[in-house]
């Protein structure tokens, strides 16, 4: 199936949270969160089993997470991508690869997590190359904040691991500060990251930034 075959199921005026055909639509500029309740992960509308669940934020076109889902059929994956055009590409991969262990959230990460991801329900969290929004006036758009780190701590199981990947040194420092403040323990000593993580997988941005000679920083933080 082609990405364009996924249509937005409502107009802006009719927007609502909706689970449809392996896509959870979480619209922007929305506040009636209580009108929708996400089924349990074991519900057939989601995964239909009790396998471990892992989530990736900033999934982009879905290259990384689709490959992980293909390699690990006994693990369930959630891809979260705010940009609808990119979310469509993830949905297309779900369909074309018949990935019953992957769903995509077309929506904003913090709101989705806060309102619909149960506490202590995830084995692992991944954040791959979030937009660093380097200009000061855009800092409010950054995903990685102490508030987001607190939400990650809530949804992760005890001893669960959050992996954050960036090529941006300033954003790396912010990640380290936010997750240390939220009670996480780094799996790496100072400077709290590694430039290589064997078997992690590749993505569009990982390939792009390596070709440009940038250092990729892999941070891993353990909960509790």
Q: Which residues are catalytic?
A: 131
Closest to 106 (Cα-Cα) out of 9, 2, 5: 9
Plot region of 185 (φ>0 → left; ψ -120 to 50 → alpha; else → beta): beta
Location of structure tokens 């990947």: 165
Chain-centroid distance, C-alpha 163: 10
User: Can you spell out the DSSP letters for 85-100?
Assistant: HHHHHHHHHHHHTT-T
Residues 73, 111: Cα–Cα separation, whole Å: 28
Residues 168, 132: Cα–Cα separation, whole Å: 7
Count of alpha carbons within 13 angstroms of residue 180, beta-carbon side: 15
How is residue 109 written in tokens? 């990460």
**99-123: burial string, b at 16+ Cβ within 10 Å, e else:** bebbbbbbbbbebbbbebbeeebbb
């Amino acid at each position: 199936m082609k990405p364009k075959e996924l249509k937005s199921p409502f107009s802006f005026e009719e927007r609502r949270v909706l689970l449809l055909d392996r896509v959870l639509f979480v619209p922007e500029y929305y506040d009636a969160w209580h009108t929708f309740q996400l089924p349990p992960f074991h519900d057939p509308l989601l995964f239909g089993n009790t396998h471990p669940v892992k989530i990736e934020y900033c999934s982009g076109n879905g290259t990384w997470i689709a490959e992980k889902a293909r390699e690990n059929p006994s693990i369930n994956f959630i891809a979260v991508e705010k940009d609808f055009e990119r979310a469509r590409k993830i949905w297309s991969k779900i369909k074309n690869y018949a990935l019953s262990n992957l769903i995509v959230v077309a929506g904003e990460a913090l709101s989705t997590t806060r309102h619909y991801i149960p506490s202590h329900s995830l084995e692992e969290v991944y954040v791959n190359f979030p937009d660093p929004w380097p200009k000061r006036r855009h800092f409010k758009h950054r995903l990685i904040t102490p508030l987001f780190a607190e939400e990650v701590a809530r949804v992760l199981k005890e001893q669960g691991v959050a992996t954050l990947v960036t090529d941006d040194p300033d954003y790396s420092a912010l990640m380290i500060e936010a997750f240390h403040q939220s009670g996480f323990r780094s799996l790496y000593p100072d400077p709290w990251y590694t430039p290589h993580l064997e078997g992690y997988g590749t993505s569009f941005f990982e390939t792009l930034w390596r070709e440009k000679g940038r250092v990729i920083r892999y941070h891993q933080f353990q909960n509790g």
